[in-house]
A and B are shown apart, each in its own frame.
Chain A
Amino acid sequence: MRLVPEPSIERAGDKPRQSFERLARAELARLYAIARRLAGDEAEDAVQECLVKAFERFDQLDDLDAGPAWLARILVNCCHDRGRARSGRPREIAFEEVDDFSLYRKIALEDPYPYSDSLHLDFLGGFGREDVREVLLRLPDLYRIPLVLVYMYGFPTKEAARILDAPLGTVLARLHRGRKLFERQMWDYAEETGLLEEGATR
């Protein structure tokens, strides 16, 4: 039996501004973390912009339970616009080589740590949080955004489809390719930055 009621974002007598602030504060950590993975060093600006835009449109949100996904949607658009505005293009990726890439098989084949009993776990263990962020930032938005929403921040695929305003099938296809791209870029990153050599000498 629950003796203490669930904390609710909406409280009787709340003014819209207070309701918004409560929602925003409850979601702030997640919004910032998502922004770090989508907009890199521009995360703070993206979250600021998201908060201002969301507050301006707060009267359009009918159901406060949908608030977290609604905020995520606004943030994703802010991050995406920033990505478009940046002059640099993501590195070229040969998709035809990526679709059948398997990081599992690549690690087994290349055997970077010959003395290890847990080759695959050792490979993953070499990556710090910053390394993962760097790898993610190499992916085009189209694939990075669903990957981050679903696998890092636990949005169900249907909710991710609503956030991205795309059909579910499209999001599932992007997730598939996004995973392959991420695996491929993890391997390339490990080779380029010397993570493989570091792991081999541990």
Chain B
Amino acid sequence: MLTSPLFHHYALAPRTWDEMYDEEKVRFQYRNIFEFLQRIPPDELSKKEELAKKLFMSQGITFTVYSSGEGIEKIFPFDIIPRIITATEWNFIEKGIKQRLRALNLFLKDVYHHQFILKDGVVPVELVYSCPHYLREMQGFNIPHDIYVHIAGIDLIRDHDGTFYVLEDNLRTPSGVSYMIENREITKRIFPDLIPQNFVRPVTQYPNILYKNLLALSPRQVSAPTVVVLTPGIYNSAYFEHATLARLMGIELVEGRDLVVENHIVYMKTTAGLQQVDVIYRRVDDEYLDPLVFEPSSVLGVSGLLSAYRKGNVAIVNSIGNGVADDKATYVYVPEMIRYYLNEEPILKNVPTYQLSNEDEREHVLKNINQMVVKKTNESGGYGMLMGHAASDEEITAYQKQIIRNPRQFIAQPVISLSSAPCYINGKVQPRRVDLRPFALCGPTGIEIVAGGLTRVALKEGSLVVNSSQGGGSKDTWVLAK
């Protein structure tokens, strides 16, 4: 096949699954876009890249970085070539995530009630009680419909043979869904007609499903419950997302200072006095949510919120204390949870994970640290991570000391290569590593997953870290209908 010079620099990494190429052949799901890219003059793509940047800027899809008192608007880097998932792959992912989420919700209910899973010795008791995100305040408290996780972002990666693995469960306040929606809008602008030609499933219904679920949680039986999005404010790097979701659902975006609790009822301060709030989709972390119960210096939260929640006067989404289920040390036990609660075999695999609190496993990891990724159990966003194959001897020694001092805080995984997908970088199409975060919505009527998600991409050559704080970007993610 004749190839355009665009593709001359596409160097496949060894032992890596490429989303577009199967050896020399282009996979069928990429054939359309591959041919499209063959026909297009190379400088045309640079123009499209420029247009995408301009659109992000002019629509204010940005976050502000504050340095020396002045804010600078930044774009979350966007790669113009979509990442494509086939209908078969998607069916598998969808089934797997639904199963996992069902088990995780049951686990949270169990941990905060009878703790059967601990008593049966399936999950060690120490693991739960030593987790900083396990909140005694939630013990024995019944929440509406027993749903703890209403919104989950499950991170998936693919090993060299294409198998999907779950890398992380994000069950607290997962972010990135606005990029799933906005990236699609940008693609519509820069590649006219391409989406209908490829039978790409839509993602625009996400806010509608979310809103429907939020409404269903209202503790008051009124015709129009007040649902709000609670944001930490405009200085938060995900503020754009909070504002977008509120706008797309047509509900109020509030900050902690807009709310007040009186007599265990939450109100918002309006120009016409106080108005009762029924459902809060909060994007403020547990520890800042209520200064009376958690971090006392927090100005982002609302005093008395937890008591209103416990009285059942307000619904909070996601529920509080979910961190015990997405802790990286708990992660190891999710396959066991699925077997224990559902009596099913896990559909999606876990990445093999060593727990450093276990002596044998610690020994093994310390010996083979060059082939390991070591992570802190309670950190996210790619912080506090050691990539064994790339770290210097000093870094490794320092890290080993930390591990020995507090092994519970660490887990280790063998380096998984992550699949690569075509990206347009410096005027050439080149492979870069990607992951996938679909967003699952869990409501009283069941779990729904919008066909799509956030594909994060490590834009640095050879890098395996896709987090935006570590130089990662994102792509539009297409799920094909056929």
Note whether A and B form a binding pair.
no
